[in-house]
Structure 1
Amino acid sequence: MMSVFMYMILLTPLFTSSSVLVMQSAYLLILLIMIYMTNCLEFFGFISYNMGLDVYSYCLICLSFVIGSLMFISMVGCYSMSVFGFLNFLLTISLLINFSSLNFLYMYISFEFVLVPLMVLILGWGYQPERLMSGMYLFFYTAFASLPLLMLILYMSSMYNSLFFDYLILDSQLLLIHLVLVLVFMVKFPMYLVHYWLPKAHVQAPVSGSMILAGLMLKIGGYGLIRVVVIYEYLFIEYSYVWFSVSIVGSFLVGLVCLVQGDIKCLIAFSSVSHMGLVIMGLVTMSSWGLLGSYLLMLGHGFCSSGLFYMANMLYCRTLSRSFYLNKGLMAYIPSGSLIWFLLCVFNMSCPPSLNFISEFMILISIMSFWSYSFYWFVLISFMCACFSYYLYSYSFHGVYHNMYSFSSITVMEYLCVAIHLIPLTLIPVFMMNLL
Structure 2
Amino acid sequence: MLEFIFISPLLGVIFLLIIPRENIVRLWKTALEWSLLTLTVTILLWAFFDVEGQFQAVKKFEWILSSEPVFGFALFGVDGISIFFIILTALLTPICILISWNSIKFLVKEFLLCLLFMEILLMGVFTVLDLVGFYVLFEGILIPMFLIIGIWGSREEKIQASYYFFFYTFIGSVFMLLGIFTLYSYAGTTDYQALCCLKIESKLQYLIFLGFFLSLAIKIPKMPFHIWLPQAHVEAPVAGSVILAGVLLKLGGYGFIRFSWPLLPDASEYFGPLIQTLSLFAIIYGSLTTCRQIDLKRIIAYSSVAHMGLVVLGLFSHTIQGLVAAVFLMLAHGLVSSALFIIVTLLYDRFHTRLVKYYRGIVVTMPLFGVLMLVLVLANASIPLSCNFVGEFFSLLAAFEYSFIVGVLASLGMVLSAGYSIYLYNRVCFGEASKYLSFSRDLNRREFYTLMPLVVLIILMGVFPFSVVDVIKSSTVFQEQY
TM range (shorter): over 0.9
Letter in 1 for 2:268: F
> Match for residue 326 of structure 2?
294
- CA shift, 1:403, in A, is 5.2
1:28-177 correspondence to structure 2 within 5 Å: 28-42=38-52, 43-49=54-60, 50-79=75-104, 81-168=108-195, 169=198, 170-174=200-204, 175-177=206-208
- CA shift, 1:328, in A, is 2.1
2:58 is paired with a residue whose SS is strand
1:89 is paired with a residue whose SS is helix
Would you say the 8 A contact 2:39–2:87 is kept in 1?
no
2:36 to 22, 26, 38: 26
Would you say the 8 A contact 2:169–2:218 is kept in 1?
yes
2:14 is paired with a residue whose SS is helix
Q: Deviations over 1:92-145 (max 9, x none)?
A: 111100000011111111111111100100010011111121112111211221
Cα distance, 1:214–1:15 mapped onto 2, change above 3 Å: farther
Q: Measure, in 1, the Cα distance between the counterparts of 2:207 and 2:28.
A: 51
> Match for residue 430 of structure 1?
463
- CA shift, 1:186, in A, is 1.0
Cα distance, 1:342–1:414 mapped onto 2, change above 3 Å: same
Would you say the 8 A contact 1:15–1:89 is kept in 2?
no
| Stretch moving more, 123-132 or 405-414 | 405-414
Letter in 2 for 1:185: L
Letter in 2 for 1:96: M
1:52 is paired with a residue whose SS is strand
Would you say the 8 A contact 1:316–1:322 is kept in 2?
yes
- CA shift, 1:7, in A, is 3.0
Q: Deviations over 1:15-41 (max 9, x none)?
A: 455241542442232223332233144
1:175-254 correspondence to structure 2 within 5 Å: 175-229=206-260, 230-254=262-286
1:328 is paired with a residue whose SS is coil
Aligned length: 436
Corresponding position: 1:275 with 2:276: no
Q: Measure, in 1, the Cα distance between the counterparts of 2:208 and 2:120.
A: 30
Q: Measure, in 2, the Cα distance between the counterparts of 1:113 and 1:22.
A: 23
Would you say the 8 A contact 1:243–1:284 is kept in 2?
yes
| Stretch moving more, 28-37 or 89-98 | 28-37
- CA shift, 1:165, in A, is 1.7
Would you say the 8 A contact 1:40–1:55 is kept in 2?
no
1:263-412 correspondence to structure 2 within 5 Å: 263-400=295-432, 401-402=434-435, 404-412=437-445
Query: What TM-score do the two structures reach when normalised by structure 1?
Result: 0.96
Would you say the 8 A contact 1:131–1:205 is kept in 2?
yes
Q: Measure, in 2, the Cα distance between the counterparts of 1:247 and 1:117.
A: 29
Query: What TM-score do the two structures reach when normalised by structure 2?
Result: 0.87
> Match for residue 12 of structure 1?
13
Q: Measure, in 2, the Cα distance between the counterparts of 1:60 and 1:251.
A: 23
2:346 is paired with a residue whose SS is helix
Q: Deviations over 1:199-249 (max 9, x none)?
A: 010000000000000100011111100111210000111110001011112
The unaligned stretches of length 5 or more in structure 1 are: none
Would you say the 8 A contact 1:47–1:53 is kept in 2?
yes
Letter in 1 for 2:79: D
Would you say the 8 A contact 1:334–1:410 is kept in 2?
yes
Corresponding position: 1:417 with 2:450: yes
Q: Measure, in 1, the Cα distance between the counterparts of 2:254 and 2:189.
A: 20
Q: Measure, in 2, the Cα distance between the counterparts of 1:256 and 1:58.
A: 34
Would you say the 8 A contact 1:199–1:270 is kept in 2?
yes
| Stretch moving more, 263-272 or 413-422 | 413-422
- CA shift, 1:433, in A, is 4.7
Would you say the 8 A contact 2:245–2:338 is kept in 1?
yes
Q: Measure, in 2, the Cα distance between the counterparts of 1:119 and 1:104.
A: 23
Would you say the 8 A contact 1:40–1:46 is kept in 2?
no
Would you say the 8 A contact 2:130–2:192 is kept in 1?
yes
- CA shift, 1:82, in A, is 1.1
- CA shift, 1:88, in A, is 0.7
Q: Measure, in 2, the Cα distance between the counterparts of 1:393 and 1:14.
A: 42
1:173 is paired with a residue whose SS is helix
2:115 is paired with a residue whose SS is helix
Q: Deviations over 1:66-87 (max 9, x none)?
A: 0112111112222251111111
Q: Measure, in 1, the Cα distance between the counterparts of 2:202 and 2:466.
A: 42
Q: Measure, in 2, the Cα distance between the counterparts of 1:38 and 1:15.
A: 30
Note the aligned Cα RMSD (angstroms).
1.7
Would you say the 8 A contact 1:134–1:197 is kept in 2?
yes
Corresponding position: 1:260 with 2:306: no
- CA shift, 1:293, in A, is 0.7
Q: Measure, in 1, the Cα distance between the counterparts of 2:92 and 2:126.
A: 14
Q: Deviations over 1:276-302 (max 9, x none)?
A: 000000011121100001110000000
Cα distance, 1:154–1:343 mapped onto 2, change above 3 Å: same
Q: Measure, in 2, the Cα distance between the counterparts of 1:309 and 1:330.
A: 17
Q: Deviations over 1:385-416 (max 9, x none)?
A: 11111122111112331254243221111111
2:57 is paired with a residue whose SS is strand
| Stretch moving more, 218-227 or 153-162 | 153-162
Q: Deviations over 1:266-323 (max 9, x none)?
A: 0000000000000000011121100001110000000000000001100000001111
